[in-house]
Structure 1
Amino acid sequence: MPDATRQESAPPEDAAPVEDVAPPAESRFVDDPAAVLPVTPALPPGWTVARPDAGDPAVVERLTALLRDHEARGRGWPGSDEAAVLGEIGVPAERTRANVVVLDGRERIQAWGSVHDRAGGRMLLVHVVSHDLPTAEADACASVLVDWAVAQAAAVGSARGLDVQQIDTGAFAADERLHAWLAAADFAKVRTWWQMSRPAQDEDADLVTDPHSWERSGVRFRLVRRDGVGLPEESDLRAVHEILEDAFTDHFNSWAETFDEFLHRLREDPGHRWDHWWLAELVDRPGEPIPVGALVGTVSESQDGPDGSYVSYLGVLGTARGRGVAKGLLHSIVADAASRGRDRVGLEVDADSSTRAQEIYSALGWRLRYVTESWHRDVPIV
């Protein structure tokens, strides 16, 4: 097994603050929930809505507990931690996100909604309601979260000058309670996703000669270049962005995203590390290497075991398909994970795509862990 310490030879990502990357425009959301929900007749007497206070440890702890219980009931185990919650409600997220909580008569948080201005025309929604509530109260909370999200979609769509704003929310395939709420609120199930995982074992470190940089059949696979303080070269980051934008143009629900939006969003991820970004380049042609593939990985931290790696994005330009670019990038992140002592590499694949990509991943060792769904609602902008 290669020396895992060599993976950390460059300065850590923690040394690079988010402000080093220009953020997108100011928030397009309405900060005050009362401004978009002036009346909440669905809630029981004494119940209220408010913004969660990211600076209150009790609030973060409660939201983490709600989210982990939501995950455990939906797929069989929890995975999120306080860092994931702060990624939604913390100060850095305020430029692109808004949050609301529903408080019962004792001011205990019973539901949480989070919206993310993801890209022009697409707004993500996180929808979590306590499973300890009686049906009527849970239904009331769910209704308020949807009403709030629709109002926020109208605000974002108006600020962007759109005619229609999409709300995109995810659900575990087994979460029939959430399915019923979404269907009643005019959401439609539009896609199924396989969440897959592959073991990372000691021998996988030998899949490539060096996950930092290696070549095969005229293709070089390398990490994005970084300067002396750990920040990557802008030209490499722009190459990653351009490849992913081009590669995903014809994919389901793909929306254009500016370079600044892309970079700011990915750096908000608690698992973000610059030394998990790879480029694939053609080096068998005259002139400068030609970037044709990109993989953006993250760290999947565990509370009670080895960490894992995760493939957040993998894109290959059409002109380079058939040259083993995707396979080489996947081998790079698996070898990297093994050399770090991690035990798995996860990814998400579109199970409804005609490309049948899940079969390719299965052939490379990935196996299905659980299934999620995408539900959409289009909000007309008046």
Structure 2
Amino acid sequence: MPEQSSSTDTSTPTSTPTSTPTSTPTSTAPTPSTPGLPAGLTTRPLRTSDAHAVFVLMAAQEAEDIGQVAIEEADIVSDWAKPSHDLGARSVGVFEGEALVAYAELMGADRADTAVLPSHRGRGIGTWLAHWLQDLGRAVGSSVIGMPVPQGSPGDRLLESLGYHVRWTSWVLKLPEGATIPERDLPPGHVVRTAEPAELRAAHDVLEDAFLEWSVRERESFEDFEAATTGRPGFEPWNLRVVVDADGAVVGVSLVLVSDNGTTGYVDRLAVRRDQRNRGLAQALLVDSFARAREHGTSTSELSTDSRTGALGLYERVGMVATSTWVNRGIQLGPSGDGAL
């Protein structure tokens, strides 16, 4: 699940405007300055009670595009639990009757996610959503927006045709069933274990410091991290792994989740403090994370990485293999939306 959420879609524009039910709140986003939606479709901002419908929608799109479902409903619920995310102002659902057939949302300054039901492609819905997101991005002061799509998918081709350029490439990697990652001895005094509740803030700092070395975004607040981590449906304390040094300081962190109906241990985030790198800590965290996941019933192990980190080679050297490739396509937002990254 590159960037923790997935998806986008394909379509071609039509010219019939959409209507919005008067019984639901109206999004703060402006009306897109683009051809409208097909007749019979309505829109409204999403609510937290829509999480399952969004999951079903995204799962259908992923099954069509990559032959498997990477997204989990818990991914959506945990994202929407972040105090900073105003779901009503940052999302739109497209409905046919009571059925959700497409959606889009913008989190933070530039991270967009969209999906269109495969049976509804080719009707201009994806194009409408792309322009809706651009208009929303301008309204909230974003200079660029982007979203992950499977490389070569209909969504990838649609965004390319709309002027979105590849910002980076991501890979989902799997440890083949039955394979193990070679163990690495830790430096003297270092230990890998479950994070203690009092170490949650230190774990957040290690993750954010490392990710912000290459990710151009605002620093995630501790409150958002806490809500999306410990507040994630199904979270258990063992999911958050840390390496502590001889002084008890957190110097490495791994967040490992159980996904795919309990069959896969998925490392959602992994980071080592800059001054502690090249000492085997990342590899020790991987060994520990996947071992703990196997203890909880999983049979396979996965993670994702992207071209900004330079970590692909590390994971390949310990025996992991890429199973899918994604691209993040973005577009620069000027006054008229012209110009792509």
Matches within 5 A, 1:220-369: 220-225=191-196, 232-233=197-198, 236-267=199-230, 269-270=232-233, 272-283=235-246, 288-302=247-261, 306-351=262-307, 353=309, 355=310, 357-369=311-323
Q: Please give the TM-score of this superposition, normalised by the length of structure 2.
A: 0.78
Conserved? CA contact 2:263–2:298, under 8 Å: yes
Give how far 1:169 is off: 0.6
User: Could you tell me the percent identity over the aligned residues?
Assistant: 22
| Distance across 1 between alignment mates of 2:32 and 2:289 | 49
Q: Distance in 2 between matches of 1:113 and 1:317?
A: 35
CA distance in 2, matches of 1:249, 1:82: 27
**Residue in structure 1 matched with residue 60 of structure 2 by the alignment:** 69
Deviations, residues 15-70 of structure 1 (Å, cap 9, x unaligned):
xxxxxxxxxxxxxxxx6238622887422234322234554xxx666544432221
Change (3 A) 1:272 1:115: farther
1:190-235 C-alpha deviation (Å, 9 max, x unpaired) = 111110011465x969969xxxxx965332112111xxxxxx12xx
Distance in 1 of aligned mates of 2:195 and 2:283 = 18
Q: Tell me whether 1:112 sits opposite 2:90 in the alignment.
A: no
In structure 2, the residue corresponding to 1:66 is in which secondary structure?
helix
Letter in 1 for 2:42: T
Asked if 2 retains the 8 angstrom alpha-carbon contact of 1:200 and 1:338, the reply is no
Q: How far off is 1:330 after superposition? A: 0.9
User: 2:276 & 2:75 partners in 1: Cα distance?
Assistant: 36
Name the larger-Rg structure.
1
**Are 1:174 and 2:152 counterparts?**
yes
In structure 2, what is the equivalent of residue 22 of structure 1?
none
Q: 2:43 maps to which residue?
A: 49
Aligned pairs, how many? 309
Cα-Cα RMSD: 3.2
- The SS at the match of 1:275 is helix
Tell me the TM-score normalized by structure 1: 0.70
Distance in 2 of aligned mates of 1:188 and 1:103: 29
C-alpha distance 77-60 of structure 1, shift in aligned 2 (>3 A): same
The CA distance in 2 between the partners of 1:254 and 1:107, in whole Å, is: 36
Cα deviation for residue 348 of structure 1 reads: 0.7
User: In structure 2, the residue corresponding to 1:239 is in which secondary structure?
Assistant: helix
C-alpha spacing 1:238/1:144, structure 2 compared with 1 (3 Å): same
Q: Does 1:152 align with 2:142?
A: no
1:88-116 Cα distance to aligned partner (Å, 9 max, x none): 6x6x4685133312234x55433221222
Given the superposition, is the C-alpha separation of residues 336 and 255 from structure 1 closer, same or farther in structure 2, using an over 3 Å criterion? same
Residues in 1 aligned to 2:121 and 2:297: alpha-carbon distance in whole angstroms: 45
Structure 2: unaligned runs, 5 residues or longer: 1-24, 337-341
Q: How many angstroms apart in 1 are the aligned matches of 2:75 and 2:209?
A: 29
